[in-house]
Structures are given as structure tokens and as C-alpha cells.
Structure 1
């Protein structure tokens, strides 16, 4: 194995801390899925989807929960509930 391959192998297993709904979530693999982030945050991926927040920009992962994404240290996300809303 070359030095470059060793470095790449180490980077693939690196974890970061991201922010989900204003709470830190540690141990998130840099290459992960939105659903895995939700699960690590203790949020049900069957009733929520993830949105990446970058300033005023919002990147929705609705219907893309199992697609791999790359995340960065202290990146910010919010969860969006998709279940029924109660009526009064």
C-alpha cells in the first residue's frame, strides 16, 4: 500500500462533529448518508429528512436519505418532520 493510499484510507474513516437542530452530533463519518446522520442524532429517518444549512442556502435531502454525501466539521443541518400534523 502506498503512502497516498494509506492517507486516503485514514481519511475515509475520519469522523467529524456536525450540528443537527442546534445540537452537536459527534462521530459522524465524513462519507455518510443523511439517514445515518439523522440516526446518530436520535431522529427517526422514517418521519424526517435532512436539510444542510449554508448561510441563507438550504440543500434538501428529501427522498435522498440513502445517497452518500460528504460532511465537514461543524457543518449545520436541520431535520424536517414529514408526518401528519395534528389539526384542532
Structure 2
């Protein structure tokens, strides 16, 4: 345990509340521990805006994958013809 983590643990044992030790980024900060401005929680602050974009990309990618799965499931002959257009490497 590093000195910072040990000091935070000692403070917590001494009765202090809302103690946080940031040893490997902000990922371990519990939401609501510190006051912040804006809607992004501190554990996402170091991701350079990726969090706001990632949700949209994940939704689009998930939709595309589900649609592809349904297409292959309900139209296997057409899916096979479509896959034959692109030769395997």
C-alpha cells in the first residue's frame, strides 16, 4: 500500500468521512464524493471527453450488430449471398 492510501485509511479509521485516495487516476472516486461542475462525474474526467462520445458510439454499434444478427437469423439465404460478395482473406 502506498503512503497516500495508508494515510487515507488512517484518516478514515480516525473518524474522518468522505476520504478518497487517488492513486491510479480518478476511477476510484465514488460519485458524489466531491462537488463538481457539470454532469460528468470525476471518475470520467480524465477521459478527455470520450465518455460523452462513447455512449453514442456504443448505441449505434449495438444497433448495427443486433440488426446484422437478426438479418442473418431471419434471412440466411440472403446473408449467405451477401457474404459471398466479400471473399475471405
TM-score band w.r.t. shorter chain: under 0.3
User: Which of these two proteins has the greater Rg computed from alpha carbons?
Assistant: 2
- Taking structure 2 as the reference length, the TM-score comes to 0.25
Larger RCO (CA within 8 A; separation ≥ 6):
1
- Taking structure 1 as the reference length, the TM-score comes to 0.26
> Which structure's residues are more often helix, by fraction?
2
